[in-house]
Amino acid sequence: MRSIRRSPSVSAAGCRGLSTCLALGLAVGLATGGLADDAGMVPIFDGKTLSGWEGKPGFWRVEEGTIVGETTPDNQTKGNTFLIWRQGLVDDFEMEFDYRITTPGNSGVQYRSKDLGDFVVGGYQADFEGGPTFSGICYEERGRGILCQRGERTTIAADGKKTPGERIGESAKFQELIKARDWNAYRIVAKGPRLQHFINGQLMSETVDEQEGKRAVQGMLALQLHAGPPMKVEFKHLRLKRTKLADGHKKLVLVAGRPSHGPGQHEFRAGCLLLEKCLDQCCPRLVTEVYDGGWPADPTAFDNADAVFFFADGGGGHPVLQSNRLAQIDALAKRGVGIACLHYAVEVPKEKGGPQFLDWLGGYFETHWSVNPHWQLAKTQLAAGHPITRGVEPFVTNDEWYYHMRFREPAEGLTMILTAVPPDATRERPDGPHSNNPTVRADKGSREALAWAYERPEGGRGFGCTGAHFHANWSNDDFRTLMLNALVWTAGLEVPSGGFAAGVTETDLTANLDPKGK
């Protein structure tokens, strides 16, 4: 989804000196989750380079394991500029980092933010500064300004009205917990509409943002370098943990393979982005994120996924077969994460991947058993009563519709979603690993499954579909609705009685295509 955008109260009044306040801050942090278990935290800065990050040249560098942002009298920024984490977006998450600001000035970490171009972003900011007032507040850059002051709890209603909650403590006392010109530990917890900022274990502010059209559930992560007088800010130990989405939302991760065919064929990236755009229009409860290039660079990409969709080349080059990825996705499936595969991505080798695909999807393309002819659908049937077929009518497309899949036996939990009778001519090709075999040839006139759904006995769902070789087929309303329904169903959400209808334009169909010659 490309939409970019409280806890027990303990008063700090009466603290006797910094040590007492620090002890109180520790108690509050433990009570509110500020010092939660570090399990699942993953580094997003390698301590050596800005790999995975991107900012305006001349303002950011790495020194001794630290990201340094700096402006000087001779190198100033005309507006706030940001170092953007390019490996993914953030939705519900926890983040920890240490910061040091040794000059007057303001900085912070942007999250669930919009990319406005030229290394400018707008959205929620976990604020800190060299001064005495703003460290720990919740600020919306390029938006509504200060959402919640330090020491406060604020709820923003759907109509934008702010309602104060029970105070956390006194801002001035919390300032005593912050080490001037030295390193401080910051923690951000974003769970649904609830945004919490902690410094050195102390909850500093808590915002619940329910404002329609303004709140953000997903967006970019970035570090701020503020315009104005020369300043220097440092960050280290940046770590991220994604958490299960709140408020009934589900997360779908779409993995697009590398370019492999001529124009208009195997348009994995363009297809994933088009499906994402449609899902954003018609299913706001599904948060989506597309990773291209065959596999996410984001080390946390799958951590809070409810479903993963692969649209990529398959066979021995299938993305899940590299390194330890097969085990990684198998672990996701075992915890109930849905797995969906489209076109070539339904094919894996029988010995490596085949058993897993039978467990995840209930079926797959097996060489020397399944076939891959180009043909036009005929005598199409849809599984009556299944959520995936809601709002879908029998349709005709000319595509590379693979058929004669290898399905698990017994077939309990399997539903053949889309079936058709292939022309007999498609069974007359010479024998080969993909083209034909005696079993296929003997089954002339038989109905074949082209899309199927699987409900795993231990929990979780799987879906496979063999079409979508040609990108132009996304213009078919029924095929598109079937795929949208399938992705939502695989993620565990309800499909409405009329299915998910989302129109596409010619511009949509030509957007994001792979460069010619790839």
Give the pLDDT confidence score for residue 39 in this predicted structure: 77
- C-beta separation of 427 from 491 below 8 A: no
Nearest to 311 by CA among 260, 374, 246: 260
The CA-CA-CA angle for residues 88, 94, 100, to 5°, reads: 95
Q: What mean pLDDT do residues 478-485 have?
A: 98
**pLDDT(35) > 60:** no
Alpha helices per DSSP H over 5-111: 17-32
Give the span between the Cα atoms of 101 and 230, in whole angstroms: 12
Torsion of CA 148, 153, 158, 159, to 10 degrees: -60
Over 90: is that where the pLDDT of 425 sits? yes
- Residue in 416, 328, 422, 341 with CA at minimum distance from that of residue 376: 422
Identical fold at 17-242 and 250-510?
no
The 3-state secondary structure of 210-277, one letter per residue: CCCCCCCCEEEEEEEECCCCCCEEEEEEEEEEECCCCCCCEEEEEEECCCCCCCCECCHHHHHHHHHH
% of the chain surpassing 70 pLDDT: 92
Query: Residue ranges of the domains in the chain?
Result: 17-242, 250-510
- Judge whether residue 27 has pLDDT over 90: no
- Whether residue 456 contacts residue 428, with contact meaning beta carbons closer than 8 Å, is answered with no
Q: Domain spanning 17-242: which superfamily?
A: Exo-inulinase; domain 1 (2.60.120.560)
Residue 97 backbone class (left: φ over 0; alpha: ψ -120 to 50; beta: rest): beta
Q: Does the pLDDT of residue 19 top 70, yes or no? A: no
Tell me, what's the pLDDT at 517?
Answer: 53
Task: Return the structure tokens found at 38.
Answer: 């570090």
pLDDT level of residue 17 (50, 70, 90 thresholds): very low
Do 436 and 429 touch, CB atoms closer than 8 A? yes
Q: List pLDDT tens digits, range 104-117.
A: 999 999 999 999 99
Encoded amino acid at 397, one letter: T
Query: With 50 as the cut, is the pLDDT of residue 179 above it?
Result: yes
Tokens of 334: 């075992």
114 CB-near residues (< 8 Å, 6+ apart): 4, 5, 121, 122, 123, 142, 216, 219, 220
List, in order, residues 6 or more apart from 287 with CB less than 8 Å away. 1, 91, 217, 218, 245, 249, 250, 251, 252
Nearest to 242 by CA among 39, 493, 34, 32: 39
Whole-model pTM over 0.95: no
DSSP string, 364-422: EB-TTT-B---EE--S-EE-TT-GGGTT------EE---BS-EE-SS-TTEEEEEEE--
Token pair listed for 331? 């672990």
At 96-146, the pLDDT tens digits run 999 999 999 999 999 999 999 999 999 999 999 999 999 999 999 999 999
DSSP summary character for residue 131: S
What is the residue-wise DSSP string for 133-155? S-TT-EEEETTTEEEE-TT-EEE
Above pLDDT 90, what percent of the chain?
Answer: 90
pLDDT for 123 = 98
Beta strands in 408-512 (DSSP E): 414-420, 448-455, 461-465
Please, what CATH class does the domain formed by 250-510 belong to? alpha beta
* Rounded alpha-carbon distances, angstroms, from residue 9 to 151, 153, 196: 10, 10, 13
In this predicted structure, the answer to whether residue 409 has a pLDDT above a threshold of 90 is yes
Tokens of 82: 């940001």
Residue 443, class by beta-carbon neighbours within 10 Å (0-12 exposed, 13-18 middle, 19+ buried)?
middle
Report residue 4's pLDDT band, with 50, 70 and 90 as the boundaries: very low
State the angle between helix axes of 268-282 and 477-490 in degrees (0 to 180), rounded to the nearest 10. Answer: 80
**265-306 per-position pLDDT tens digit:** 999 999 999 999 999 999 999 999 999 999 999 999 999 999
pLDDT of 476 strictly over 60: yes
- The mean of the pLDDT values for the chain is 92
Looking at residues 389-405, what average pLDDT do you find? Answer: 97
Average confidence (pLDDT) over 360-385 = 96
Q: Which among 324, 314, 391, 397 is positioned nearest to 357, based on CA atoms?
A: 314
Q: Does the pLDDT of residue 22 top 80, yes or no?
A: no
